[in-house]
Structure formats: structure tokens, C-alpha cells
Amino acid sequence: MTILKIAGLHPKPHSLKYRLILILFISSLAPLILIGSISYFSMYAILQNKAEGGVQSNLHQVRLLLEDTLGQLNHTSQQLAFDGRVGKSLENYLSADLFEKKRLNDDIRSELGLIHFTNPTLGLMFYYFEKDNQRLFENFNVRDDYDLKQLPVLIKFDKLTYMGPHLSLNPIDGNEVLSILRKVELPDRDDVYVYIETNFKLAESILKDNDQFGGNLVHLIVDNHGQIVYSENSTDFPVGMLHSANNPSNKDSKYMMFEETSNQSWKVLAAVPKSVYNLEVNRWIKQFAFFAILTLIASCFIAWLIWRTVYRPLKLLSTDIRNVKSNNEVFPRRQSQILEFAVIYKEFAEMRRRIFELIGEVEQKEQGKAFLEVEKLMTQINPHFIHNTLDTIRWLARANGQKDIDRLVSTLNKVLYYNLGKGGPARIKDEIEALKNYVELQGIRYNFHFDVNIHADSKALELPVPRFILQPLVENALYHGLEDRGVIEVSVIEDGESHVIIEVRDNGDGMTEEEISQLMSENTLEKKKVGMGIGLQYVNRMVKFQFGAAASFHIKSTIGSGTTIILRLPIGGVLG
């Protein structure tokens, strides 16, 4: 009655489940939609500023790297000018004799090699004599068609000129470089210059490594006169074109322009196509949408956790109720952080325990009833009266010198004494001894000869076994088809450590399936057709009563080929 009440109060799972999900989903989604709607336009402006800040940061980095590179060129050129150590050696070299020139040549090249070694970002360097169009002390090969006057001028001062980016004069290099041309003030000549380039790919790496728009960012370098001296897009921004930020040409109107001015008045510009710039902004918006969706998923997950704390305990309780209805005795211990569910689980567990206690009591009563029925079968032979009477006959026969009768009655008395349960719990060797006495009696009774061969493992002899279990199996072989010179084989073997197998095999006529069914029938007439009125049906019921599904009882028989009875019993599960 209690189970029915609890089951009746259990709400509909699907109705509660989906209502909870809907309520929690709306409560978590509504604030997110409101916040997203308010902040979208302000977020768009922030993302635009972020993209613009990224370009400006890029330009600033490029400008600093170019300034550092030009500063390094200036510092190195000072070492090679007249005021420097190498410059003074050059003056001595020009006025020295042949032997001294050889020594000074080695010293100057050694100094140049040391300078190049300590400044790995430098490339080609040499002295240039303008009137003679002659080069001295170059550390790499120089193109034959070089012309220093044709190189793009970035900044020009009184004694030095910064040039580039331009192709290196080194024919092996062929990359974009920055260079410096500095006049060397010698007392006797005013046409001597020192030319120094940066290392190959240095200028190109400065520009390319700072492109955050996937190659769509166009870098421009404008000299202090506003003329473009370097362009990554010669179509829209040709070298030599004047650039004005206030009056852009029609061509650069499709670009977003950003600039960074150096302390020497030259500029670095970045031109971003408007379509690419908008893509960058849209990328930030997609990222914002991604995190918004991620937040939504997290909100749904939190809502699911809340739902789980309410719906799942009810579902577990419903499962426990169904298990009780199906007589399932295996139940996990339910725990809940919610006080109400914890109380319900505790009360239901107590009710469930009491139900199965009552079921256990009913089963024990049924088992007792079955045991009484077995004892009733045993009493059908009126054992005590027969035992006492036979004992009297045995003493009379012995007193009159009737040894055969004395032996026969004594053997019969032993069989009855054992079957009555006198002497305590039975073992397999006790069953075998009782069987031998029974076979001896039947050998006198029948007028044909038969043999009973018993084989038992020595370890199995001490195993406990239900009393009076072997005799009905052998008795069945005697009563069903065994003829003269018949043989009955009895074997007892251990099946591992858990079971013992008792097998009784005869070479008689065998039985049909119908005859086997009659033997196992509970019909009283069929039972009284064999021996003491208790046959295979008794053994089958005794095995089921004591062992249940842990034991097995099988009969295999073929007409003309004999009968085999196999009994498989668990070790250690026998009642005393």
C-alpha cells in the first residue's frame, strides 16, 4: 500500500523535465540577450579602435627598427671615415709605397672583417672613389652595372646619405637592403666615400614580419620631402610619387592610411585596403560572438546542473520503486544534498528493508514446508518399527544357527540404520558403504547376476553429501532394463574446487523420454513401483531443496544402450 502511494505521488517525468529546462533556459538567456543588444554598438567602436591601434603599433615597431638600423649604419660609417681608425689607415695606404701598401691592405681588411663580425646585420661595404669610379676593400662582389647615384635617397645630409630600401649591389644577394653613403674627408682628395649595406633580407624582414593583415598591408617609406622612396605596391603607390596625407589621390582613396614620423622627418606609412580592414573588424566581432555563444553554453550547462539536482533524484526514486516491484534486492545507497530528498531516500530504504524481510520470512516458511514434505516421504517406510522388528529376527536367526539369515537381516538393518539418519551427517564414503550393503541385499534377492563397480576420488570421500542419495540412483538401474551379467558403474569425481559429480551408468535396455518423465513424476502410483517407494523424484526434490540452482540433475538414456544419471552438487553447501 505504501509503495502504491509513493508511486502515485511521483510526478510525470517528461512534464517536469521539460518545464524545468524551459524555465532555466529562459532565465539564463534573457540577461545575455539584453546585455548583448546594449553593448553591440559600443563594442563595434571598441573593435574599430583596437584594429586601428594594431596598425599603429605595427607602424611604430617598423619605425623603431628602421631607425635602429640606420643608426647602426651611421655608427659603422663613422669608424670607416677619416676620423676613425680605419679612415686614417686609408690615408696612409693611399700615400705609402708598394711594400707598405701590402701591410696596410691586410690591416684594413682585418679591421673591416672585425667590424663585419661584430655587426652581423651588416652586408656589403667598400670605399668608393668617385673620380676614378674605383672601389677598394669590398668584402663581397659588386655588380658591374652599379650606380650609386641611381639609388633611392631616403635622407640626405651634408656628408652622408641614407638610401633604400633597394636591391643589394651584391649580385649574389638580390634582396632589399638599406644603405648609407658617407663622404670621407681626406686631406688630399674630396671624392672618397664609404658605402655600407645592411645584411640581406634585413629591411624586408622588418616590413614583412610586422604585417598583421595576412600580406594585404602595404608599407610605404616617404622621405623628408614627401616623396615615396619605397613601396610594396608600385601600381597604386609608385616610387617617386609625392604623397600628401591631407590631399590623397583617387587611387589611395580605397585604402585606410596610417603613418608614423621619425625624428629625422622621414615617414613610414601603412595602407590597408578598406575591405581587408573591415574584415579585421569583423574578425573581432566573430570572436565576440564566439565568446557570447560560449557564455550561452556555460549558462545552459549551469541550468542543466540545477535541473539535475531536482529531476534526477526523482528519477532515481522512481527507479527504486520499479526495482521493488520486480523483486530486485540489489539497491545502491542513495545520497542527496537536498534535505527533502535525503529524508525521502532514508524512509524509502527503511520501507524497502522491511518489505524484503517479510519476503524472506515467507520464503523460509515455504522452505520449511518443503522440508516437512521430504520428511513425510521418509516416514512412508515406517522406519522405527521395521528396524526393531528386523533386529529381533536377526537375534532369533543367530540363536537358531541360521547364519545366512543372520547376515541378510544384519545387512538390511545396516541399510535402514543409515537411511534413518542414525550416526550424524553423511559423507560420500558413508554413502558408498551404504550402497555396498544395498547391493549385497539385492544380489540375494534377484535371480540374475550383476556387478556394481564403484570408482571414487580419494579426496572426494570426505566431502559432505545429502543422506540416502546414491541408493535410489542404483535402484533405478536395477528396476529398468538390467539383465543377467549387467554392469552398473558408479563414479564420484571432483569438478575443480567448487563441485562434485556423481555419475551412475548401466548397460541395460535403456528408457524412452516418456518413461523418464514417469519416473520423475509426483504420481504416487509411479513412485511405489520402485524399491522402498522413494525413487529418483525424491533425489531431485532433495537436491533442489538443499542447493537450488547451484546443483543439476540429468538423465540420459537410449533404447538398447543403457542409462546414465548425472548429479552435479556444489562442495560445501550440504546441510547436516
483-516 residue pLDDT tens: 777 888 999 998 877 889 999 998 888 888 888 8
Nearest to 90 by CA among 179, 187, 181: 187
Residue 427 gets which letter from DSSP?
B
C-beta separation of 462 from 500 below 8 A: no
So what's the pLDDT on residue 490?
92
Between strands 450-456 and 486-495, the pairing is: parallel
Q: Give just the sign of the alpha carbon dihedral 558, 559, 562, 567.
A: positive
Decide which of 401 and 374 is more confident.
401
Other C-beta atoms closer than 10 Å to the C-beta of 15 total 9
Which grid coordinates belong to 172? 649574389
Nearest to 123 by CA among 66, 63, 82, 180: 180
Q: Give just the sign of the alpha carbon dihedral 391, 396, 398, 404.
A: negative
Best mean pLDDT range from 92-96, 136-140, 439-443:
136-140
Which grid coordinates belong to 335? 545520497
What's the rounded mean pLDDT across residues 334-346? 75
So what's the pLDDT on residue 28?
55
* pLDDT band per the 50, 70, 90 thresholds, residue 525: very low
Residue 459 gets which letter from DSSP?
G
Angle at 146 between CA 144 and CA 147, to 5 degrees: 145
End-to-end CA, the chain: 41
The distance from CA 25 to its chain's CA centroid, rounded to whole angstroms, is 30
* Residue 458 CA: distances (Å) to CA of 32, 155, 205, 428, 475: 82, 114, 93, 10, 24
Q: Please give the Cα distance from 468 to 472 (Å, whole number).
A: 8
Which grid coordinates belong to 60? 611604430
Nearest to 504 by CA among 442, 573, 455, 560: 455
Decide which of 333 and 433 is more confident.
433
So what's the pLDDT on residue 498?
83
Residue 411 has pLDDT above 50, yes or no: yes
The burial class, CB within 10 Å (0-12 / 13-18 / 19+), for 373 is exposed
C-beta separation of 434 from 419 below 8 A: yes
Q: Torsion angle of alpha carbons 516, 518, 521, 526, nearest 10°?
A: -130
Q: Is the peptide bond before 31 cis (omega within 30 degrees of 0)?
A: no
C-beta separation of 397 from 411 below 8 A: no
Best mean pLDDT range from 15-29, 167-181, 188-202:
167-181
Q: Please give the Cα distance from 174 to 170 (Å, whole number).
A: 7
So what's the pLDDT on residue 378?
60
Which grid coordinates belong to 327? 523483486
Q: Give just the sign of the alpha carbon dihedral 414, 415, 417, 421.
A: positive
| Identity of the residue numbered 83 | D
Rg (C-alpha) for the chain, rounded Å, is 57
- Of 213-217, 339-343, 479-483, least confident by mean pLDDT is 213-217
Residue 549 has pLDDT above 80, yes or no: yes
What's the rounded mean pLDDT across residues 112-129? 84
Residue 61 phi/psi, 5-degree rounding, is -65, -40
**What is the number of residues in the chain?**
576
Residue 337 has pLDDT above 90, yes or no: no
Which alpha helices (H) appear in 446-483, and where do they start and end?
471-479
Q: Which helix (H) or strand (E) holds 261?
A: strand 255-261
* pLDDT band per the 50, 70, 90 thresholds, residue 14: very low
Helices 339-378 and 274-325: angle between axes, nearest 10 degrees: 40
* pLDDT band per the 50, 70, 90 thresholds, residue 246: very low
Residue 574 has pLDDT above 60, yes or no: no
Residue 124 has pLDDT above 80, yes or no: yes
Which grid coordinates belong to 89? 689607415
Decide which of 532 and 253 is more confident.
253
So what's the pLDDT on residue 526?
46
The burial class, CB within 10 Å (0-12 / 13-18 / 19+), for 350 is exposed
Q: What is the pTM of this model?
A: 0.41
Q: For residue 382, what are the contacts with CB-CB under 8 A and spacing of at least 6?
A: none
Which grid coordinates belong to 300? 545552459
So what's the pLDDT on residue 377?
61
So what's the pLDDT on residue 206?
57
Other C-beta atoms closer than 10 Å to the C-beta of 13 total 12
So what's the pLDDT on residue 504?
92
What's the rounded mean pLDDT across residues 504-529? 73
What's the rounded mean pLDDT across residues 372-380? 62
